[in-house]
Amino acid sequence: MSTLTRTRRERPTTTTPTPRRRGTFPIGKVLGYLTLIVFAIIYIYPFLIQIATSVKTNQDATQTPLSLVPNPFTTTAFDRLLDTDFPLWFFNSATVAIIVTAGRVFFDSLAGYALARIKFRGRSALFTGLLAVMAVPGVVLLIPKFLVLNQIGMYDTHPALWMPLLADAAGVFIMKQFFESVNPSIEEAARIDGAGTFRIFWSVVLPMAKPALITLTILSFQGSWNELSHFIVATQSTDLFTLTKGVASLTSGQLGSGNQFPITMGAALLMTIPVAIVFIVFQKKFVAGANEGGVKG
Amino acid sequence: MSATTPGVTPITSAPGMPPATVPAGPLGRRPGGGGGEGGRRGLAGYVFVAPATGLLFLFLLLPIFMALWVSLSDWTGQGSPFSGSANFVGTENYQRLFLEDGLVRKDFMTSLRNTAFYVAIVVPAQTALSLFLALVVNQKLRGQGFFRTAFYFPSVTSSVAISLVFLFLFTGSGAINGVIGLFGVDGPQWFSDARGLVHLFGDKLGLWDTDSPPGVLADSSVGGLTLWDWISGPSVAMTAIIFLVVWTTAGTFMLMFLAALQDIPAEVDEAATVDGAGRWQRFRFVTLPQLKPAVFLVTTLGLIGTWQVFDQIYIMSGGNPAKTTLTPAFLSYLYSFRQNEWGVGAAMAFVLFAIIVVMTSIQRFVMRDKDAIRDKKATRAARGRAGAREHQLADRSGRGEGAG
């Protein structure tokens, strides 16, 4: 766009355009689209195969893995999934995701606000500690998490699924960064009006923090919905299987073995849907919110 | 203001304690903002951070020390490791990983080899692919948003779901081999093929025969593995996992590159165009240098993430075939949770931790920005001088604000 205007200014006489750099024949654009389309196929086709396979018969799935047309169309895979513990897994995942998301959003913004705006002794030490904790790779924590849950008698209970996940240093960090970017004058005005710290936080700061809160909500929901390793080490009874753990057991268990791909693809599809919805719904808001925050900050 | 606020009584001018530290925060700086309310507000600070910090302490910091103890013990999973059921064995578990000839060391070294090849391929590949995708998406083309979403979507979906899809795609008669077959090539039995890529490649080039490996390599061993085993390269099975991970993670990193690209002022690029720089020149000498922080970020996160690979191994391969997809994280899980050798398992986790720290430090050193360091020093010196002259300025620069 700007290139075009400038080009016109530079070359007032309409000469034959040199196509490669600044001309009207858009070879660059065509190549750009071609690349985009090739990669879009690489990225989208696996999901299409997943959807198509989930409504195929076992035989059809094995024989025509590339075909997107089920022949014949059947919902056997989903019927059989419903006979398993799949609904229970789904319920467990949903419960855990909701609790973790709500808890994280609240606790992280509280702590983030305090670290950004409230002066208290040991604040910077605490923040340094937070950064150190964030640097600990999650996989290193598998055994430690089991040990502490085992020690306090929480292993293989429902709270074991979600309580350790409420601890989230990265979320605190995100909120702290955000609160520091907000102009403090509004809070000062509220304070002069006589509002207390929590009141300022709750009714002045949090509403302004919408973009960051949305980010944190998405991250928390997605993170807890997709979590696998924590559930592996925190519980063992089948009552407490979440979707990730349950569906992963399909591959090694009775159903996933051999060529029963429609079932595993159906399970994969169903567990992807909630995250996909959140992702699609929030994406626009997310972009808009981020821009809004940028203007404000 | 909303009236539905949970009641915390407004603090007008709280008497009592003076502020704990000299008011230097964004609020305290302004006149009228600090003063006597520091005490009450300080208390509020503790209350605000208490839940998050408490949880982090209980479920993160404390357990690390518990695991450190377990890694120095012979705990077998019976009872509590902090009662009589575990004995202190010193560094024996660590020695078994590195010094004592045995299955533990062999497994651990195999997992290190597998992961080293995995990291060496995944990190450059995902960085290059994500940068490439970002550059393509960043062009002002129609449907930009759609493509960005398409590339990013795998990153937000569950590793379990994606792994299942790839297990299906990579079956012997699956979609990948179907596509390969279009070019007249027979695809391998991906997840049961333990042959190493370097072995295969050397065989193709006539460097060696995989059936009778050269004695130089096969007869000398380091850490319980022969040199021949060390250089195997990723197995075919691991390669499938590499495809999966690069494909999945590129979307996230693409977003990071996109953000960095959009931060580059358009004028710079336009100026380069006016100066007659071609597309490639502009990318190489104008865009890429400005992306250096983003490249640093992406490779750091890549290094940290790839060394930890666990989910995909757990779901897809379980370390098979022939242990060529074992990784330290998964091996640590196997030894502790499945074989009840908790000491060895915990020791592996800590060694993995150390590896990640060392790797990222090396990377930070290699990619350190000499110009930035010099600039920083200069700024600091300038700030110092300013501070000597004027008190307020010094205060500000101490907090890393202002100046420029």
Q: Over the stretch B197-212, which tens digit does the pLDDT of each residue have?
A: 888 888 888 888 877 7
B82 to chain A: closest CA residue = A151
Segments in chain A below pLDDT 50: 1-21, 23, 254-256, 286-297
Sign of CA dihedral A292, A296, A297, B5: negative
CA quadruple A127, B28, A117, A208: dihedral positive or negative?
negative
- Which of B9, B55, B256 should one mutate to test binding to chain A, selecting the residue with the greatest count of A CBs within 10 A? B55
Rounded to 5°, the CA angle A63-A66-A67 comes to 85
H-assigned helices in chain A: 2-10, 27-54, 58-63, 76-83, 86-117, 123-134, 142-151, 158-162, 169-181, 185-192, 197-199, 206-208, 210-226, 229-234, 243-252, 261-296
What are the structure tokens assigned to B305, written together?
Answer: 């993430």
Q: Which residues of A53-82 are buried (b: 16+ CB within 10 A; e: fewer)?
A: bbbbbbebbbebbbbeebeeebeebbeebe
Which of A6, A106, A118 to substitute to test the interface with B, most B CBs within 10 Å?
A: A118
Place of tokens 């979320």: A171
Q: With contact defined as beta carbons under 8 Å apart, do B113 and B225 qualify?
A: yes
> In 3D, which of A58, A89, A67 has the Cα closest to residue A255?
A58
> What type of residue sits at position B38?
G
Place of tokens 């002022």: B265
pTM (two decimals): 0.81
Exposure letters A135-153 (e unless 16+ CB within 10 A, then b): ebbbbbbbbbbbbbbbeee
B310 touches chain A (CB under 8 A): yes
Question: Which residue among A6, A126, A137 sits closest to B308, beta carbon to beta carbon?
Answer: A137
Query: ipTM strictly over 0.85?
Result: no
Q: Which residue in chain B is spatially nearest to A248 when comparing CA positions?
A: B315
B213 sits in the region (left: phi over 0; alpha: psi -120 to 50; else beta) called beta
> Is the CB of B168 less than 8 angstroms away from the CB of A118?
no
Q: From CA B128, how far away is CA A232, in angstroms rounded?
A: 33
DSSP labels for B114-143?
HHHHHHHHHHHHHHHHHHHHHHHHHSS-TT
Q: Which of residues 172-191 of B touch A (CB under 8 A)?
A: 173-175, 178-179
Q: How close is the nearest chain A Cα to the Cα of B92, in Å?
A: 18
Give CA–CA dist B19/B34, Å, rounded.
8
pLDDT at B128: 95
Which of B121, B243, B240, B246 is closest to B170 using CA atoms?
Answer: B240
Query: Which residue ranges in chain B fall short of pLDDT 50?
Result: 1-37, 387-404
| Chain B environment of A7 (Cβ under 8 Å) | none
First CA to last CA distance, chain A:
29
Q: Which residues of B fall within a CB distance of 8 Å from A228?
A: 158-160, 311, 314-315
Helix axes A142-151, B62-71, angle to 10 degrees: 100
User: How far does A174 lie from chain B, in Å, by closest CA?
Assistant: 13
* Separation in Å, CA of B204 to nearest CA in chain A: 29
Between CA B83 and CA B100 the distance in angstroms is: 28
| A268/B161 Cβ within 8 A | yes
Chain A nearest CA to B99, separation (Å): 22
The residue of chain B with its CA nearest to that of A148 is B63
Contact B63 A148 (CB under 8 A): yes
Task: Determine the pLDDT at residue B386.
Answer: 54
Residues in chain A closer than 8 A to B140 (CB atoms) = 1
Within 10 angstroms of residue B375's Cβ, the number of other Cβ atoms is: 11
Sequence-distant (≥ 6) Cβ neighbours of residue A296 within 8 angstroms: A182, A183, A208
Partner A contacted by B60 (CB < 8 A): yes
Rounded distance, CA A86 to CA A83, Å?
8
Is A144 in Cβ contact with B9 (below 8 Å)? Answer: no
Cross-chain residue pair A167–B346, CB shorter than 8 Å: no
Distances (CA, A) of B225 to B107, B118, B196, B306: 9, 18, 14, 23
Which residues of chain A lie closer than 8 angstroms to B49, CB-CB? 110-111, 114-115, 126
Q: Say yes or no for a CB contact (<8 Å) between B314 and A229.
A: yes
β partners of residue B225: B222
| Lookup: tokens for A115 | 């670290």
Q: How far is CA A162 from CA A159, A168, A173, in A?
A: 5, 12, 20
Chain A contact for B62 (CB, 8 A cutoff): yes
Cα dihedral angle (B68, B72, B78, B82), rounded to 10 degrees? -60
pLDDT for A140: 85
Whether the CB-CB separation of B330 and B317 falls below 8 Å is answered with no
B303 vs B297: CA distance, rounded Å: 10
